[in-house]
Structure 1
Amino acid sequence: MKLIFISLSAFLIMTTSSLKAQNLISNGGFENYTGCPVTFSQIDSVVGWTVPTSYVSTDFFHTCAPLSSLVGVPVNQGTGYQFPHSGDGYAGLFIYAPAPDIREYISTELVSPLVANQCYQFEMYINILNGVKYTSDDIQVLFSDTLISGIQGYGVLNYTPQIENTPGNFPDTLNWTLVQMNYTASGGEKFIVIGNFKNDANTTIVSFLQNALPATYTYIDDVSLTICTGIETLNENNNFSVNYNQTTNQILIENRSGKTARIELFNMLSGKVIQTLFKENTELNTVGFATGIYAYRISIFDEIVSSGKLLLQ
């Protein structure tokens, strides 16, 4: 009986791992392609990926692109400099464009149709192009049982996406930001479309670079859709919480660990602005700080135990 129990446990672990590892989005890292990109608007060179519109404007970036092409990796578009989250390639699209209500999207067919009432976890990593003025947390995913294609024009798609990025999860130009969302399927969904389905008036933008292109251009890499396992991996230590109070201009830090910790606060443009030790709950005064996105990290004995981002307004 003991041997059977061990074998059954191992089987369950392997089965769960297999389910978790089965990505229903093929080529989610944009690694397989029919030809190296040589100019903009060549996302259709990526195997399995296309756009829902009659024109192709979404971009494909890869290390194999010629240096003069402006779609290489890590250098691209004149101002862009970003290595992939993994592999050698990634996609790029406008979430918020210089012209009113202009959008770009990418779409792909799932490996198999979704099962009704099954929970699926969607993940992707996003980053912002150097040289644009804004960042935005507005990016959504539409699931459909039919292929959406041939739509005329450059505007916002007239569809209602089922899931969207967590409010306040703003990407920056330095690191790849994880976007993670759960979706309970209606059943039969076979396609997804990624992009911003909100018009300009309802899109949240935050300025972080002055005298730059008034837009939000987002890189996308490592897209996945897997069955929910009921096990969540948290990046943040539950002993700490960090929140910004706009009314009092204070960053409120709770320390439930009982240990002395160090918090460091970084401005996306100017670097580290605060570093302090604390053992009890504490507050940081932000009067005089420039508005924008700040990153923080908390460490104990040089081990990072919590990190995140704050929007100071």
Structure 2
Amino acid sequence: MCYFVLTHMKLKITTLLFFAFGHSIAQNLVLNSSFEAFKNCPKNKGAFHENVINWSCSNYGSTDYFNNCSKDLGFENYVGFQEPKTGNAYSGIYTFAPASYREYIQTKLVSQLAKGTKYLITFQISLSDCSSHSNNNFGVLFTSEELDSKSKNFIHFKYLKKDNIKYKYSKIENKSFYSNTQEWTKVTLEYTANGFEKFMTIGNFETNRVIKIQEVWSTAERQFTYYYIDDVSVTTLKLSKKTLSKVDKAKPLETKTIYTFNNVLFDFNKAILVNTSIEELDKLNLHLKENKNLNIEIYGHTDNVGLTKRNQELSLQRAKSVSEYLISKGLKKERIQWFGFGSSKPLVKNSSEENRAKNRRVEFKLMDKN
């Protein structure tokens, strides 16, 4: 049995993001990115597959689902204690165990990745308290088909070739080991798509013979590495044309110029800001506090997928969410207005996923007070 000391509150890290404005907007291509939607509250181990909406297991490993609704598989569970990075749930997988046993999480993306487009893949991890070891790498596997390996061991790429499944594997190797059990650690990958990617699998794809591990608990009854996972994201990665971090006093943000947020994100078809949006909005709020002579307008836009009425509503709701956040941070209501344009003002033709990603955006414009 694993014994661990529970703290009343584990500290949560705040991810520092680059505050950038350019002509792009990033939509998370991962549905149910923080595992909040599910069919049944988990009662037993291995309750992830076919229970968490839009997620599955890539092999016969018994990936776990932890949710605050569960008595035994909540924040305090059989491998430790951790609060979610966001929401009320997270997943858990073995990345190292005897006989190269492995567990994975797999999701179908909102849309197939566009060839040649660069994407940013991120997810949050936390080593479980009971793990005897930590490791220093994770793998992200993109495939053209959904994987359903009949093995409980690591996924071997030769079998994908045998089944004529297109795939591309990326290894994320950290200089230090992912050994933090108190806080969540953000894992990131920049990825250029081949154009076939419809599914994504996260886990460890190395055998016990080659995997790099580091001991963290010498008196553990058995050797294994187990990580909690939360907040999975796949977004387009664009270089910004204008960045607040590079603006000096001689070149302030211009008035009557429309800027596009790079890191203000929402879950698919929702208007609730995800946590990764906060840093960018806080920087903008600081700029407004330092320049009380400025008012601001927020503009929401969508692509042309879906009903026109719904797109109009969603764009307005998202612009309102951004505005309400700035107001909650102290911006006076009379200094801000918000508008939703739906798909009526595309930057480019909605002829490809890459173009549609450009059209899904939230913008702002600064104006001098009259």
The residue number in structure 1 matching 2:228 is 219
Q: Deviations over 1:178-233 (max 9, x none)?
A: 100011000021001111111111111011112113110011000000000225xx
* Bigger mean CA offset, 112-121 vs 55-64: 55-64
Tell me, yes or no, if the aligned pair for 2:61 and 2:101 is still in contact at 8 Å. Answer: no
**Residue number in structure 2 paired with 1:230:** 239
- AA matched with 1:211: T
Amino acid paired to 1:229: K
Counting aligned pairs with the same residue, the percent is 32
Which residue is 1:76 aligned to? 77
Instruction: Tell me which protein shows more helix as a share of its residues.
Output: 2
Are the counterparts in 2 of residues 163 and 182 from structure 1 also a CA contact under 8 Å? no
Confirm or deny: 8 A CA contact 2:136 2:212 kept in the other structure.
yes
Partner in structure 1 of residue 366 of structure 2 = none
The equivalent of 2:321 in structure 1 is none
- Measure, in 2, the Cα distance between the counterparts of 1:31 and 1:59: 14
Pair 1:161–1:136, CA change in 2 (3 A): farther
Matched, 1:168 2:139: no
1:189 corresponding residue in structure 2: 197
Structure 1 segment 2-21 matched on structure 2, within 5 A:
16=24, 19-20=25-26
Whole-Å separation in 1 of the counterparts to 2:21 and 2:216: 45
Rate the CA distance shift 1:169–1:101 in 2: closer, same or farther, 3 A: same
The count of aligned residue pairs is: 209
Residue 14 of structure 1 deviates from its aligned partner by 8.0
Does the 8 A contact of 1:37 with 1:60 survive in 2? Answer: yes
Aligned residue in 2 for 1:113 = 112
Which residue number corresponds to residue 39 of structure 1? 44
In the TM superposition, residue 148 of structure 1 has moved relative to its aligned partner by 1.2
Q: Deviations over 1:1-39 (max 9, x none)?
A: xxxxxxxxxxx95852xx22x000111101111111111
Instruction: Output the CA distance in 2 between the equivalents of 1:94 and 1:56.
Output: 9
- Residue deviations 1:228-264 (CA, integer Å, cap 9, x gap): 0225xxxxxxxxxxxxxxxxxxxxxxxxxxxxxxxxx
TM-score (norm 1): 0.64
Question: 5 Å matches for 1:42-61?
Answer: 42-44=47-49, 45-53=51-59, 55=60, 57-61=62-66
SS at match of 1:100: helix
1:61 shift after superposition: 0.2
2:22, 2:239 within 8 Å by CA — same for their partners in 1? no
Q: Show structure 2 runs of 5+ residues with no match.
A: 1-19, 158-166, 241-370
In structure 2, the CA distance between the partners of 1:121 and 1:169, relative to structure 1 (3 Å rule), is: farther
Larger % of strand: which? 1
TM-score (norm 2): 0.54
Q: Which residue type is aligned with residue 175 of structure 1?
A: E
Q: Give distance in 1, aligned partners of 2:95 and 2:119.
A: 24
Who is 2:210 aligned against? Answer: 202
Higher relative contact order (CA 8 A, sep 6+): 2
Helix, strand or coil at the partner of 2:65: strand
In structure 2, distance between residues paired with 1:197 and 1:56: 13
The whole-number CA distance in structure 1 between the counterparts of 2:169 and 2:228 is: 21
Question: Deviating runs (4+, > 3 A) in structure 1?
Answer: 12-15
The aligned residue for residue 292 of structure 2 is: none
The 2-side partners of 1:139 and 1:185 are apart by 19
Q: Contact conserved, 1:42 with 1:56, CA < 8 A, in 2?
A: no
Contact 2:94 2:103 in 1 (8 A): yes
Letter matched to residue 90 of structure 1: Y
1:57/1:104 contact within 8 Å kept: yes
Return 5+ residue gaps in structure 1 as ranges: 1-11, 232-313
Rate the CA distance shift 1:169–1:46 in 2: closer, same or farther, 3 A: farther
Q: Which amino acid aligns with 1:93?
A: I
Q: Which amino acid aligns with 1:219?
A: Y
